[in-house]
């Protein structure tokens, strides 16, 4: 037939496919007549057809057969419009925090804490909340690349197999795998299998914020490296030596929750805990302290020793350059709370302070009570710095043939003296597996896109050892993305099974469950595997003698984890970049924090650019004055100044890593030189004093006991009928939604802010717009300082919309775009808003946010996947504000209506309340006399912010009660 | 200053005024001035186009200062308009005949100032294409404006003001349009002026009806002098922002409006009479009286300042007290003291009759008062908002280049309209001037 094909009628026929041939034979029966026509037409058609065929067929590839299926039978458990929740774990520095991910129509859109997971108990931190944004980041690594060219995973596997086969001949010598903290038991087992297969290979671990010092301290005290697990619920007294347990770390949501349980004054808690903090730079934990002193690092060491002396664990005469009143008070309190107290050393403190803390806990009988000592949780508990140093040595001597970097960013965050970015180029082949492009990836020959945690099967352990299964919420968005499990499996040369099989096989071999399938399903469903927390290790504290350390002269620069972008891992997240840092309210930048007194001495002021120099390295950074900072001590948070990354990561802030040496990981002595230039640092709050106003009310426990109405007496509330308008205009007959925020338990961690941003599709506006004062957060956390700038009291106040019953915003709107609904909510009708902004002017709380420009314009399709479909995306010219998560209210109301009942107390939780690790936010119905919110509002601690304006806010605060030692000064 | 004599005959008056429109070649000053004004109109059009394209975010406004230049300019322009209405309507009813030579011009000024003012509430909307939602029109959804909002009252006040001012101005123009129609030899002008003159033949019954209608319109316009700026002031007084929430605002705003209006009248008249040689019609008396009114209203405004400061202490309200202290010593203190200097201190020179007779100096003072009144609105709007109840939300404001472009653009629009008015219509009421002459003769 092919030979006879002079004329043809379709491309199929021209292509001469068997289907077409069959069809032709059926169509043209032997006797059918043919239409005769002039040649010109036929010639025309021939030419047309030929050109079509050439143009069309040449460009075509046959598309694979894809069967679309109508949505007649739903996947089990899925109802369109109804969210599904899946338990999984999200890691911070390798350690798991349990999460429940809300999935809508197959897209993960919101992260909540997993109440069944010990590192969360339902609370989250800012990093967990930002996970969905990270998943849908258009700047993610999407393809396998080799030397800048896009290749395939199979290309890589072929190349890898060849390289490994060559290296296998020398026993794998020359293979180096560099990971971050690995707590995944499966990955640990895989790595050990890899090391068994290639005995010459080595596994190095590097993490810029590590526990080297803490573990060295434990080794000093007990002879073995141990991890510490605290029980803040039991501790009546906590002494923190620069331990920011409420502010950072993989246990933060859990620790905040436990700590807050001992501060719930409004809920009748009487035995409040007491917190002493000595720290060189202000932290969230310091802000929550009942007694705090700012101490230079050298003095902190003396304080630790002095405490030890007072407690009788150290016998040493000390020179007293420290605040003895603090030590005396803390020591007396510690002795009065034997077995119920807790001494903690911060991870950035040197080993001997950790050792002192261990000794003190042991001497006070706290070990086993408030402190548990457990074996190191991660799979390869080597000293990170030493491990990386070894790798660098091997790179230098040319021993490394194949360097595999699994995640992390050592080229950016390794100690400066290692010059890792430079040295890694000496490896013959360098492979990087990561979710995002970064400095390390750019220096590698091969870049393999890693599947995001929300796209992967894996497992991970929490701070206390509890293991949990990581399950994917979505197929990898980018084909070719692999998990570390698959990657190591490929290195092991196996026919690479999926991560699912790898993780299941591991757990099947562990035989932890009698019935594997049932146990597995339970583990996957629950998120945390029961009874996998590490058991306490019995440990005997040895006495150690403190070594005299020279107190640094001149200026000391401290390196600390950034409160919003951590060690740089999160610098690509717009939510976290625009999240005001708790104590400075800085956005999009870090800065050199300095005490006002030192700044005055050096003639510096905020925004001045200075050059910091240590041991021949220099960094130029901007100055920011902060009260509460120890004198002659500077702080520069890590993680900024990224050079390669997505559009968000680069071009912001100042890189502190060039000053960080392997020999001095937490602080370094620096000299400072003014450059004479300035840099615009942007904060969302410019004024940190209360001007004597009663917006934020604080009293001590003894004041409260003397006078239970002390909080309410600070302001006068007008009678409900003191208004020109009808006070009964909005009766809220059915429900009357209201919110309380407990200032005693709130730690100012910002989780509510990011949770709200995620839930309500709040746009990010960028540094220039924030500079203009146009940030969009519906809930903000106000920070106020009180007292002397050397050591102020620091108070946090989350401020969402107050949902005033007499709302000043409503009367001034000319088009009734903001008005009351039947439940007393102050709602904003975006469609009706014309954007006069009068409501914002008239809002005494300034919680309204305006779309000055098209902030949601130009977002990429993948970013759109992350938007919550329950909430409108607002366009320019429209006012918006907190709605108490009205979408959640309506959803619960619908359910209740279908079931013909009232909404139950606790059925609705706004995003802020749900994320809050301290459970400081309570939402409920004022018409339900049994609700928690009614009970809280009935307490004497309840007050309305600016209620004297007769706004009658539905959001009220429970005054902050501190618990200083009554005899101690300040 | 030597007092130039008034033209003595009807013919002289008519010729002097109508020749500007019909014959006189425009002085070089007109061409130059119009060119500059026209350029600024182009700037205005460009900045409006960009504004509609990008949104109000191109301006400096933010949270907490969500109102800025747009509202300042709106109030300033509306205030300027007031002198026109006061001169033409109020003084007419009071039989203050000296007003006749400047009333036409003052009315035109009112009209153009209100036109400039009216732009801003529209431009400042986040979604300006939905401006009509502020009008009570029968909507299929049954949605009405929210009548408790002063912004809705503004819509009525300003639109009423514009309509009445336009009608009053036009009614006064009719006999003069007829004069022009009759005097011109140009066919095209005859038709246009003829249509505008509505068939005016100058009969006694025409005059009788015209006078009745004119007085009636004057009667309607007079309360507007008080009401418009009172309503505008309620935009602030109804708000609860410290520095806004004050009962003194309506009278204080009205006085301020007249103050700035007369300052603008002087700013325009002094060069105008020079340019066209109208010294014998717009006499020293006009200038002198205007300066005296400025002095008087300036003191009412000063009284407002004093009472505001006093009440912030007397009320015992900590937020008001803070607001006042912040105005005088805060980050915007320079603006506040500039305002006090411009509005309170320098105009005291007007007590001296020598100053009032010194045209260049008077002109400078008038401009200073215009600046001062703009600053006053800036202080009220911006300083109050920048530091209100919640210290954590305090923030600063500054205009961007687009704010300035829009403001100067409206100045250009105002000037361009005035230049066109002087060129195309009789800037002085011929009919009333003739009537005055008659009265003087008797």
Most confident of A48-57, A383-392, B425-434: A383-392
Contact A834 B130 (CB under 8 A): yes
Q: Do the chains contact at A772 and B60, CB–CB below 8 Å?
A: yes
**Confidence tier at A2 by pLDDT (50, 70, 90):** very low
Contacts of A688 in chain B (CB under 8 A): 391-392
Degrees to nearest 5, angle at CA A903 with A900 and A907: 130
Paired residues of A682 in beta bridges: A587
Contact A954, A737 (CB under 8 A): yes
Query: For residue B58, which residues of chain A lie inside 8 Å, CB to CB?
Result: 853
Q: Does A504 touch chain B (CB under 8 A)?
A: no
Contact B62 A849 (CB under 8 A): no
Residue A416 three-state SS = helix
Nearest to B100 by CA among B92, B111, B110: B92
Picking from A582, A554, A572, A594, the residue whose alpha carbon sits closest to that of residue A653 is A572
* Total beta-carbon pairs less than 8 A apart between chain A and chain B: 168
Residue A397: both structure tokens together: 């001597």
CA pair distance B158, B228, nearest whole angstrom: 7
Report whether A127 contacts A566 (CB < 8 A).
yes
Would you say how long chain A is, in residues? 970
How close B313 comes to chain A (CA, Å)? Answer: 17
Which chain A residues are closer than 8 Å to B54 by Cβ?
853-854
Percent of chain A topping pLDDT 70: 91
Contact A763/A855 with Cβ under 8 angstroms? yes
B316 Cα distance to chain centroid? 36
Q: How far is CA A914 from CA A255, A802, A888, in A?
A: 16, 18, 12
How far does A949 lie from chain B, in Å, by closest CA? 9
A270 contacts: CB under 8 Å, gap ≥ 6: none
Q: Give Cα separations from B228 to A895, B79, B222 (angstroms).
A: 52, 9, 10
Q: Which residue has the higher pLDDT, A317 or A916?
A: A916
Q: Is A158 helix (H, G, I), strand (E, B) or coil?
A: helix
Query: What is the spatial distance between Cα A288 and Cα A246, in angstroms, rounded to a whole number?
Result: 9
Q: What is the pLDDT of residue A284?
A: 94
Sorted by sequence, the CB contacts under 8 Å of residue B186 that are 6+ apart come out as B22
Instruction: Name residues 791-810 of chain A within 8 A of B (Cβ).
Output: 797, 799, 808, 810
- Residue A695 is nearest to which of B128, B240, B390, comparing CB atoms? B390
Residues of B in contact with A773 (CB under 8 A): 62-65, 395-397
pLDDT tens for chain B, 442 residues: list them: 334 455 567 777 787 777 777 776 777 888 899 999 999 999 999 999 999 999 999 999 999 999 999 999 999 999 988 878 887 787 777 777 777 777 888 888 889 999 999 999 999 999 999 999 999 988 888 889 999 999 999 999 999 999 988 998 899 899 999 988 988 888 988 999 999 999 899 899 999 999 899 888 888 888 888 889 999 999 999 999 999 998 999 999 999 998 998 899 899 888 888 877 777 777 888 888 889 989 999 999 999 999 999 999 998 888 999 999 999 999 999 999 999 999 999 999 999 989 898 899 999 999 999 999 999 999 999 999 999 999 999 999 999 999 999 999 999 999 999 999 988 888 888 888 787 777 766 6
pLDDT for B100 equals 75
* Average pLDDT rounded to a whole number, residues A194-219: 92
Q: What residues of B are in contact with residue A838 (Cβ under 8 Å)?
A: 66-67, 149, 151, 235, 239
Segment A658-686 shows an average pLDDT of: 91
Q: Is the CB of B393 less than 8 angstroms away from the CB of A853?
A: no
Cβ atoms B334, B383 nearer than 8 A: no
A965 and A274 in contact (C-beta within 8 Å)?
yes
Searching chain A, which residue's CA lies closest to the CA of residue B130?
A834
**Three-class SS string for chain B?**
CCCCCCCCCHHHHHHHHHHHHHCCCCCHHHHHHHHHHHHHHHHHHHHHHHHHHHCHHHCCCCCCCCCCHHHHHHHHHHHHHHHHHHHHHHHHHCCCHHHHHHHHHHHHHHHHHHHHHHHHHHHCCCCHHHHHHHCCCCCCCCCCCCCCCHHHHHHHHHHHHHHHHHHHHHHHHHHHHHHHHHHCCCHHHHHHHHHHHCCCCCCHHHHHHHHHHHHHHHHHHHHHHHHHHHHHHHHHHCCCCCCCCCCCHHHHHHHHHHHHHHHHHHHHHHHHHHHHCCCCCCCHHHHHHHHHHHHHHHHHHHHHHHHHHHHHHHCCCHHHHHHHHHHHHCCCHHHHHHHHHHHHHHHHHHHCHHHHHCHHHHHHHHHHHHHHHHHHHHHHHHHHHHCCCCHHHCCCCCCCHHHHHHHHHHHHHHHHHHHHHHHHCCCCCHHHHHHHHHHHHC
A879 vs B contacts (CB less than 8 Å): 126
CB contact under 8 A, B148 and A811: yes
Q: B146 to chain A: which residues are within 8 Å by CB?
A: 810-811, 813-816, 819
Exposure b/e, A16-32, CB count within 10 A at least 16 = b: eeeebeeebeeeeeeee
Which residue carries 């607001």 as its tokens? B323
Cα(B372)–Cα(B297) distance, rounded to whole angstroms? Answer: 14
Distance between CA atoms of residues B198 and B205, nearest Å: 14
Q: Do A877 and B56 touch (CB under 8 A)?
A: yes
Which residues of chain B lie closer than 8 angstroms to A833, CB-CB?
A: 126-127
Model pLDDT, residue A970: 43
> Which residue of chain B is at minimal alpha-carbon distance from A946?
B389
| The pLDDT value given to residue B91 | 77
Helix H, strand E, coil C: the string for A497-537 is CCHHHHHHHHHHHHCCCCCHHHHHHHHHHHCCCCCCCCCEC
Of B126, B148, B394, the CB nearest to A877: B126
Question: CA of A948: which chain B residue's CA is closest?
Answer: B317
Are A686 and B394 inside 8 Å of each other by CB? yes
User: Which of B61, B132, B235, B391 to mutate against chain A (most A CBs within 10 Å)?
Assistant: B391
Q: What are A637's strand-pairing partners?
A: A560
Radius of gyration of the CA atoms of chain B, in A: 23
Asked if residue A54 has pLDDT above 80, the reply is: no
Sheet with A341-345, edge to edge strand ranges: A291-294, A274-279, A237-241, A341-345
Compute the average pLDDT of residues A579-597: 94
Q: How far is CA B99 from CA B106, B134, B213, B256, B281, in A?
A: 10, 37, 19, 20, 11
CB contact under 8 A, A814 and B155: yes
Taking alpha carbons only, the member of A502, A625, A651, A679 closest to residue A572 is A651
Angstroms from B244 CA to nearest CA on chain A: 10
Which of A841, A846, A854 faces B55 most closely, judged by CB atoms? A854
What is the mean pLDDT of the segment spanning A638-655?
91
Specify the range with the lowest mean pLDDT, choosing from A26-40, A524-538, B130-144, B257-271: A26-40
A contact test, residue of B66, B143, B331, B402 with most A CBs within 10 A? B66
Q: Which residues of chain A lie closer than 8 angstroms to B389, CB-CB?
A: 693, 695, 844-845, 946, 949
How would you classify residue A198: left for phi > 0, otherwise alpha for psi between -120 and 50, otherwise beta?
beta
| Residue B346 neighbours by CB under 8 Å, 6+ apart | B365, B368, B372
pLDDT for residue A647: 86
CA distance B213 to B92: 13
SS3 of residue A835 by DSSP: coil
Token code pair at residue B309: 């400061």
Exposed/middle/buried for residue A398 (C-beta within 10 Å: 0-12, 13-18, 19+): exposed
The single residue listed with the structure tokens 């209405």 is: B85
Subunit contact B392:A784, Cβ cutoff 8 A:
yes
Check residue B274 and give its pLDDT.
82
Average pLDDT over residues A853-874: 91
Locate A331 and state its tokens.
Answer: 């020591």
Interface of A with B in 759-778 (CB under 8 A): 769, 772-774
User: For residue A121, what are the CA distances in angstroms to A97, A496, B203, B221, B363?
Assistant: 9, 36, 94, 71, 75
The answer to whether the CB atoms of A837 and B144 lie below 8 A apart is no
Candidates A842, A856, A857: best to mutate against B (most CBs of B within 10 A) is A842
- Among A769, A840, A852, select the one facing B56 at the smallest CB separation: A852
Q: What's the rounded Cα separation, in Å, for the pair A873 and A191?
A: 45
Instruction: Check residue B2 and give its pLDDT.
Output: 38
CA distance to partner chain B, nearest, from residue A538 (Å): 50
Residue A493: both structure tokens together: 């040369």
Q: Inter-chain contact B57–A876, Cβ cutoff 8 Å?
A: yes
User: Which ranges of A780-826 does DSSP label H, i.e. alpha helix?
Assistant: 808-812
Instruction: Find the residue in B nearest to A816 (Cα).
Output: B146
Q: What angle do helix axes A153-168 and A484-491 make, rounded to 10 degrees?
A: 40
pLDDT tier, A30 (very low <50, low <70, confident <90, very high otherwise): low
Give A787→chain B minimum CA distance, Å: 16
What is residue A390's three-state secondary structure? helix
Q: Which of A782, A783, A835 sits opposite B127 (nearest CB)?
A: A835
First-to-last C-alpha distance (Å) of chain B: 28
Which neighbouring-strand residues pair with A961? Answer: A699
Cβ–Cβ below 8 Å for A686 and B396: yes
């Amino acid at each position: 037939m092919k030979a006879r094909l002079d004329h043809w009628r379709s491309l199929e026929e021209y292509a001469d496919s068997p289907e077409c041939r069959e069809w032709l034979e059926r169509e043209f029966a032997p006797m059918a007549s043919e239409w005769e026509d002039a040649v010109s037409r036929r010639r025309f058609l021939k030419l047309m057809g030929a050109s079509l065929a050439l143009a069309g067929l040449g460009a075509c590839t046959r598309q694979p057969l894809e069967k679309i299926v109508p949505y007649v039978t739903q996947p089990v458990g899925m109802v369109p419009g109804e969210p599904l929740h899946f338990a999984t774990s999200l890691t911070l520095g390798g350690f798991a925090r349990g999460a429940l991910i809300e999935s809508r129509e197959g897209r993960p859109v919101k992260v909540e804490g997993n109440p069944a997971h010990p590192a969360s108990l339902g609370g989250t931190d800012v990093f967990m909340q930002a996970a969905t944004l990270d998943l849908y980041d258009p700047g993610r690594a999407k393809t396998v690349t080799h030397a800048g060219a896009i290749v395939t995973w199979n290309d890589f596997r072929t190349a890898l197999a060849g390289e490994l086969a060559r290296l296998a001949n020398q026993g794998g010598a020359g293979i180096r795998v560099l990971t971050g903290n690995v707590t995944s038991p499966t990955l640990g087992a895989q790595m050990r299998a890899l090391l068994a297969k290639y005995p010459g290979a080595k596994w190095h671990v590097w993490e810029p914020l590590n526990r080297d010092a803490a573990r060295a301290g434990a080794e000093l005290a007990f002879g073995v490296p141990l991890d510490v697990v605290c029980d803040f619920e039991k501790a009546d007294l906590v002494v923190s030596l620069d331990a920011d347990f409420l502010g950072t770390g993989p246990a933060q949501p859990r620790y905040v929750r436990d700590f807050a349980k001992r501060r719930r004054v409004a809920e009748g808690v009487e035995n409040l805990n007491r917190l002493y903090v000595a720290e060189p730079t202000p932290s969230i934990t310091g802000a929550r302290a009942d007694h705090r002193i700012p101490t230079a690092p050298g003095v902190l060491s003396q304080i630790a020793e002095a405490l030890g002396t007072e407690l009788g664990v150290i016998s040493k005469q000390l020179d007293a350059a420290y605040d003895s009143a603090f030590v005396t008070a803390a020591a007396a309190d510690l002795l009065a709370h034997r077995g119920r107290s807790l001494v903690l050393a911060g991870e950035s403190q040197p080993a001997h302070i950790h050792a002192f803390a261990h000794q003190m806990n042991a001497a006070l009988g706290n070990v086993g009570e408030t402190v548990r000592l457990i074996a190191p949780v991660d799979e390869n508990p080597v000293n990170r710095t030493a491990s990386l140093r070894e790798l660098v040595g091997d790179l230098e001597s040319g021993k490394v043939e194949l360097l595999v970097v699994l995640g992390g960013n050592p080229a950016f965050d390794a100690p400066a003296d290692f010059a890792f970015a430079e040295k890694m180029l000496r490896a013959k082949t360098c492979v990087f597996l990561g979710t995002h492009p970064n400095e390390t990836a750019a220096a590698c020959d091969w870049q393999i896109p890693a599947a995001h945690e929300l796209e992967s099967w894996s497992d991970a352990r929490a701070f206390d050892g509890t293991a949990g299964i990581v399950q994917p919420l979505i197929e990898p968005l980018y084909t070719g993305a692999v998990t570390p499990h698959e990657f190591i499996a490929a290195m092991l040369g196996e026919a690479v099974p999926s991560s699912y099989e790898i993780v299941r096989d591991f757990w099947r071999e562990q035989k932890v469950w009698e019935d594997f399938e049932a146990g597995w399903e339970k583990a996957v469903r629950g998120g945390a595997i029961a009874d996998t927390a590490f058991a306490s290790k019995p440990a005997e504290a040895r006495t150690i003698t403190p070594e005299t350390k020279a107190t640094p002269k001149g200026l000391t620069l401290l390196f600390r984890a950034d409160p919003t972008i951590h060690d740089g891992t999160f610098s690509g997240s717009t939510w976290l970049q625009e999240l005001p840092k708790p104590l400075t309210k800085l956005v999009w930048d870090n800065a050199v924090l300095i005490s006002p007194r030192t700044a005055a001495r050096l003639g510096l002021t905020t925004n001045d650019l200075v050059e910091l120099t240590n041991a021949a390295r220099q960094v130029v950074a901007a100055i920011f004055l902060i009260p509460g900072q120890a004198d002659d001590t500077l702080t520069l948070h890590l993680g900024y100044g990224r050079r390669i990354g997505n559009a968000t990561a680069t071009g912001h802030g100042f890189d502190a890593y060039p000053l960080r040496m392997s020999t001095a990981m937490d602080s370094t002595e620096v000299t400072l030189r003014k450059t004479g230039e300035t840099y615009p640092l942007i904060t969302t709050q410019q004024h940190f004093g209360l001007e004597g106003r009663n917006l934020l009310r604080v009293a001590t426990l003894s004041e409260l006991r003397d006078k239970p109405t002390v909080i309410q007496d600070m302001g006068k509330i007008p009678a409900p009928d003191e208004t020109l308008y009808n006070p009964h205009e909005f009766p809220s007959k059915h429900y009357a939604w209201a919110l309380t925020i407990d200032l005693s338990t709130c730690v100012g961690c910002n989780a509510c802010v990011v949770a709200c941003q995620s839930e309500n599709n709040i746009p990010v506006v960028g540094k220039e717009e924030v500079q203009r004062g146009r940030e969009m957060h519906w809930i903000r956390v106000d920070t106020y300082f009180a007292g002397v700038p050397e050591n102020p009291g620091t108070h946090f106040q989350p401020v969402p919309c107050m949902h005033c019953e007499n709302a000043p915003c409503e009367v001034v709107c000319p088009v009734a775009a903001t008005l009351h609904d039947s439940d007393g909510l102050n709602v904003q009708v975006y469609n009706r808003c014309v954007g006069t902004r009068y409501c914002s002017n008239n809002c005494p709380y300034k919680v309204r946010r305006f779309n000055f420009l098209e902030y949601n314009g130009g977002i990429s399709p993948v970013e759109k996947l992350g938007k919550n479909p329950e909430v409108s995306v607002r366009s320019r010219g429209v006012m918006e504000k907190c709605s108490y998560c009205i979408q959640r209210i309506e959803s619960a109301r619908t359910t209740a209506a279908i079931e013909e009942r009232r909404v139950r107390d606790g059925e609705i939780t706004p995003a802020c309340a749900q994320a809050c690790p301290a459970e400081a936010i309570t939402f409920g119905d004022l018409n339900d006399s049994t609700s928690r919110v009614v009970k809280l509002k009935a307490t004497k601690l309840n007050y309305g912010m600016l209620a004297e304006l007769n706004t009658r806010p539905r959001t009220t605060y429970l005054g902050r009660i501190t618990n200083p030692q009554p005899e101690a000064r300040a | 200053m030597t007092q130039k004599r008034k033209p003595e005959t009807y013919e002289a008056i008519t010729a002097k005024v109508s020749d500007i429109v019909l014959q006189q070649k425009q002085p070089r000053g007109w061409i130059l001035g119009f060119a500059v004004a026209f350029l600024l109109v182009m700037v205005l059009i460009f900045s409006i186009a960009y504004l509609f394209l990008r949104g109000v975010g191109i301006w400096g406004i933010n949270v907490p200062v969500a109102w800025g230049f747009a509202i300042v300019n709106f109030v300033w322009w509306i205030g300027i308009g007031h002198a026109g209405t006061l001169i033409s309507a109020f003084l007419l009813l009071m039989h203050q005949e000296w007003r006749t030579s400047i009333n036409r011009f003052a009315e035109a000024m009112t009209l153009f100032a209100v036109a400039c003012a009216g732009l801003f509430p529209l431009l400042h909307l986040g979604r300006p294409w939905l401006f009509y939602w502020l009008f009570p029109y029968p909507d299929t959804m049954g949605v009405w404006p929210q009548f408790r909002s002063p912004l809705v009252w503004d819509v009525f006040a300003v639109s009423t003001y514009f309509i009445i001012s336009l009608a009053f101005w036009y009614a006064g123009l009719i006999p003069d349009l007829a004069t022009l129609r009759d005097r011109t030899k140009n066919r095209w002008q005859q038709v246009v002026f003829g249509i505008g003159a509505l068939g005016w033949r100058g009969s006694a019954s025409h005059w009788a009806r015209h006078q009745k209608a004119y007085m009636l319109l004057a009667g309607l316009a007079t309360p507007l002098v008080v009401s418009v700026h009172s309503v505008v002031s309620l935009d602030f007084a109804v708000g609860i922002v410290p520095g806004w929430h004050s009962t003194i605002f309506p009278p204080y705003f009205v006085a301020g409006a007249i103050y700035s209006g007369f300052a603008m009248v002087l700013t325009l008249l002094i060069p105008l009479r020079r340019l066209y040689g109208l010294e014998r019609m717009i006499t020293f008396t006009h200038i002198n009286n205007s300066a005296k009114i400025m002095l008087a209203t300036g003191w009412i405004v000063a009284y407002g300042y004093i009472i505001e400061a006093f009440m912030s202490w007397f009320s015992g309200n900590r937020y008001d007290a803070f607001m006042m202290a912040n105005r005088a010593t805060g980050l915007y203190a320079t603006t506040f003291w500039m305002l006090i200097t411009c509005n309170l201190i320098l105009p005291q020179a007007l007590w001296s009759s020598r100053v009032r007779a010194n045209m260049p100096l008077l002109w400078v003072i008038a401009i200073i008062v215009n600046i001062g009144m703009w600053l006053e609105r800036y202080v009220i709007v911006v300083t109050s908002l920048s530091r209100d109840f919640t210290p954590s939300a305090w923030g600063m404001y500054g205009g961007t280049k687009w704010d300035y472009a829009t403001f100067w653009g409206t100045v250009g629009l105002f000037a361009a309209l005035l230049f066109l008015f002087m060129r195309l219509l009789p800037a002085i009421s011929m009919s009333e001037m003739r009537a005055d002459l008659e009265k003087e003769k008797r």
